[in-house]
Amino acid sequence: MQQPFISLDDIRAAAARIAGQILRTPMTQSASLGELAGVPVHLKLEHQQTTGSFKLRGASNAILSLTPAERASGVVAASTGNHGRALAHAAKMQGAVATICMSRLVPENKVAEIRRLGADVRIVGNSQDEAQDEVDRLVADKGKIMVPPFDHPSVIAGQGTLGLEIMEQVPEADTVLVPLSGGGLAAGVAAAVKGLRPKTRVIGLTMERGAAMKASLDAGHPVQVEELPSLADSLGGGIGLHNALTFAMCRDLLDDVILLTEDEIAAGIRNAYAAEREILEGAGAVGIAALLSGRVTSAGPIVAILSGRNIDMGLHRRIVNGASGAPAEVAA
């Protein structure tokens, strides 16, 4: 195995840097999932993090790692989802300006949410690509600092602090289940976990529909996949054909990747609500979904990361009331 690009020391430094900015989220044990798996199952309740996802860790570390001059220039990103929310909040906490670029197609409630968090919102073009072009322009013309959602050393180290917490809370963890999209979370968590306890297995979980990292790992290099709507919308999007860090780290550090169907993800959301009394978005529920599917085997304790809770509440209600994961059933 090659040395990971982000070291345990980088992650420890990130933890010290962001300690006052993020919550140390609780770890609970699930009796019903433990019974099913035959080993203790612990749930890392990271959906309870400020802004509703772990993304605040990476965004906070990235902003706190800037020089004062860079911070004064302001940060910019094109995410309308959890990264955008996290970056807006983290920038506000540091007295910096975050500019979030989004396309005209982004629903008004998402725009309002990011504005409410204090960001300067720019609506440009009709696609995510055009929003990204505006980001590139602001970097080139205005000297703004781009903070990407996953493929960046400070972001990966920040997400890795979740791995440190997990190993403090469950030092004997044998298997850690990590939601996987661009791989910032999985790369950071795996670097922390394997740095502390090399024999612990780290498994990435993602949806069958449009799994870019899985397709890239299978191909041996970053590839593009068709994007399809999924209940796990936070797991959508590509990994970047010029991926610098997360592809290689996931290739070197992940023990396995499990793909989940839309019905399995719906079952995960439903079980989290009924059995654990937790409201999760699809991406946050893939750990529970994988355990329910019976496809995770482990000789010892399992930790599942519940990564986010930002789901439309109408959609959540339909799923809890029994809608399958089929797009027609979950559509409003």
Ligand X SMILES: *Cc1c(COP(=O)(O)O)cnc(C)c1O
Which residues are catalytically annotated? 55, 307
Could you please report the per-residue DSSP string of 115-175?
HHTT-EEEE-SSSHHHHHHHHHHHHHHH-PEE--SSSSHHHHHHHHHHHHHHHHH-TT--E
Alpha-carbon Rg for the chain, nearest whole angstrom, is: 19
Shortest distance in whole angstroms from residue 233 CB to ligand X: 9
Site for ligand X in 219-278 (CB under 6 A): 234-235
Q: Distance between CA atoms of 308 and 12, rounded to whole angstroms?
A: 23
210 binding ligand X? (CB under 6 A): no
The distance between the two most distant Cα atoms of the chain, rounded to a whole number of Å, is 57
Q: Which window, 20-28, 167-175, 183-191, 320-328, contacts ligand X (CB under 6 A)?
A: 183-191
Give the residue closest to ligand X by C-beta. 308
Positions in 72-91 near ligand X (CB under 6 A): 82
* Residue 60 touching ligand X (CB under 6 A): no
Choose which of 4, 40, 158, 184 interacts with ligand X (CB under 6 A): 184
What is the C-alpha end-to-end distance of the chain, expressed in Å? 47
Q: In angstroms, what CA-CA distances link 183 with 3, 80, 186?
A: 17, 18, 5
CB closer to ligand X, 287 vs 301: 287
Other beta carbons within 10 Å of 7? 15
Residues between 140 and 159 that touch ligand X (CB under 6 A): 150
Total residues at interface with ligand X (CB under 6 A): 19
Only one of the segments 123-131, 166-174, 259-267, 279-287 lies at the binding site for ligand X (rule: CB under 6 A); that segment is 279-287
Tell me how far, at minimum, the Cβ of 140 lies from ligand X, in Å: 25
Residue 43: its H or E element = strand 41-44
Q: Which of 283, 290, 304, 311 lies at the binding interface for ligand X (CB under 6 A)? A: 283
Q: How far is the CB of 166 from ligand X (least distance, A)?
A: 15
User: If you search the block for the tokens 């990971």, which residue do you land on?
Assistant: 4
Alpha-carbon distances, residue 238 vs 180, 181, 224 (angstroms)? 11, 8, 6
Query: Which structure tokens are listed for 61?
Result: 């570390």
Least distance (Å) between residue 318 CB and ligand X = 19
Query: Does residue 185 touch ligand X according to CB under 6 A?
Result: yes
14 binds ligand X (CB under 6 A): no
Contacts of 166 (CB under 8 A, 6+ apart): 27, 44, 173, 176, 189, 192, 193, 303, 305
Q: Write down the least CB distance from residue 309 to ligand X, Å.
A: 8
Binding site for ligand X (CB under 6 A): 53, 55, 82, 150, 179-186, 234-235, 281, 283-284, 307-308
